[in-house]
Structure formats: structure tokens, C-alpha cells
Amino acid sequence: MTLNLARLQALRRQSGAPAAAAVATPAPPAAKIDADPLARLRGLLRVKRRDAPAPASAEDRMLPGREIAPGLWLQEARLPFDLPWQPHLDAAFARRDAPLPTSELLFFDTETTGLAGGTGTRAFMIGAATLDPAGLHIRQLTITTTRAEPAMLDLFRGWLRPSTILVSYNGKSYDAPLLKTRYRLMRQAEPLSALDHVDLLHPTRRRYRGVFENCRLGTIERRVLGIVREDDLPGSEAPGAWLDYLRGSSAKQLRRVMAHNHQDVVTLARLAIHLGR
């Protein structure tokens, strides 16, 4: 069978594949062999009604922070802490005998394109925060093109020292393996395996299991730390927000993802301190 795009789409429908949302009428039977598959495709587009993404206006594409490399955005913020500075954090909650040096802690959280796992899932945003006597220093990296991913991974690696202690919420099972996969795919040295990593999910569960309806970060944040978010974008909408931006849509949703990620990292720091008291 000679193959062109229309025939391929027709075959997919016949084998029971759910129709692409845009197809309203079945493609006309491909009777002639068309030398130009693109022309055939344009012909189909005239027939189908496609939901093309609405063209975005220029202002609507603004992201906070600055573009430090093509497609790579960095947003930095400083948050003074209302708690006195402690050079060490008691880590008995994490079943550690020795306290952890506060200045080595790196709180991090990623936003990804899906929960499926496997090599096809990527992080499009990495939020990281460190503590010093002045307060919390938050840095967020966001890629707006897939090509910028190697630069993001490289830069993030630059934030890590051999003595860095990673702190996350479910990061040992999710965020860290995902980043390791991406480092390997980009053929870069993978910096995470060599570092100490404290995952707050398990100690949180040990302390609060059965107390609240679940141990999700949002629930703990509200019930234990008393933090309430306004107009927070649900985590499940994050992949779609980034995809829309990638395809040229408004940056509004993506900014909400950045705000969500920012708060996740801040909450992580507060939770660690709370558990260590």
C-alpha cells in the first residue's frame, strides 16, 4: 500500500484508535496516489475543523525573571525567614544520629510533563532553595523550548556541591530518578546519585499518618504549617500549561505554575524546620 498521511489516518481510525479530537468527518477514501503528502494534508485541513491554539498576544508571553540562555529562564527571590537561624537541623525525624548542617540543605522540586515515568517524561521546571542567615534564597529554572533542557540540567548541576544535602517531598522515588534519566539522555554527568538525600515524605507519614485525610504536601502545608494558597494551580494542570506555552499560547498559566512551584519549595523548607524542632 502506498502510504501518505491521509491513508495513515484512515487506517488508524479503522483499527479502533480513538479519533483525534479534530476530525469531524471521515477522510475521503484515498483513491489517487498523491505525490505530495503535505498537499494532501492541507486538503484535509480544509475539510476538518481543527482547534488550533489561539494566537497569543506579545505581552501575554512574558515570564518573570530573565532569560539567561536561549529558552532558559531563571527567576530568583529572597525571603527573609521569621525564625532564628540555626546552623544545624536536628534530623532525628529522618532517623539520623548526626544533625545536618543547615547551609548544605538544598530544597528542590520539579514540574514535569507527566507522571508516567520512563524516558519520555521530562522536567520543564526545577525549583531550588537554600537557607542562610538572611533567609531563604529561591531559584527557579524554566525551559521554554525543548532545546534548552541540556542548559538547564547543566546549570542545576552547578548549584550542587559534593557536600550538598538534597531535601525533597517524594523526590527519592520521583524527582531524582526522573532527573537522573534526563541527565543520561543528554549524555551529561549525573550529579544526584553521589549526594545525600533526605525525603520528607516518609518522616511526615510516620508522624502524621491517620491524623489528616492524606499526607500530600498541600494537606500538610495547610494543616500543619498553616499556609493557605490563593488561586493555586492544581499540579495536574501543570503539564498542560507548559505545553500550551510551548505551542505559542498565553504565559498566564505557566506563571501560575511558577508560583505553585515557588511555594512548594518554600513549604519544603518550612516543613523541614518544623520536623527538626
Contacting positions for other proteins (CB under 8 A):
1, 3-5, 7-12, 14-18, 20, 29, 31, 37, 41, 113-120, 122, 145-147, 177, 180-181, 184-185, 239, 243, 246-247
76 versus 237: smaller Cβ distance to other proteins? 237
Residue 30 C-beta: closest distance to other proteins, Å: 9
User: C-alpha distances in angstroms, 258 versus 79, 112, 153, 162, 255?
Assistant: 16, 12, 18, 28, 5
Beta strand 72-79 with 100-101 is: unpaired
Residue 81's DSSP bridge partners are none
Residue 115 C-beta: closest distance to other proteins, Å: 7
Q: Name residue, grid cell 476538518.
A: 48
**Which residue type is seen at 45?**
L
Alpha carbon distance 4, 37 (integer Å): 6
Residue 76 C-beta: closest distance to other proteins, Å: 27
Cβ neighbors of 176 (< 8 A, separation 6 or more) are 166, 168, 192, 197
Cβ neighbors of 80 (< 8 A, separation 6 or more) are 134, 135, 136
Residue 36 C-beta: closest distance to other proteins, Å: 12
29 versus 87: smaller Cβ distance to other proteins? 29
Residue 149 C-beta: closest distance to other proteins, Å: 9
Angle made by CA atoms 194, 79, 72, in degrees to the nearest 5: 60
Burial track 81-100 (b if 16+ CB lie within 10 A, e otherwise): beeeeeeebebebbeeeeeb
101 versus 240: smaller Cβ distance to other proteins? 240
Residue 187 C-beta: closest distance to other proteins, Å: 9
Residue 15 C-beta: closest distance to other proteins, Å: 4
Angle made by CA atoms 184, 185, 190, in degrees to the nearest 5: 20
57 versus 236: smaller Cβ distance to other proteins? 236
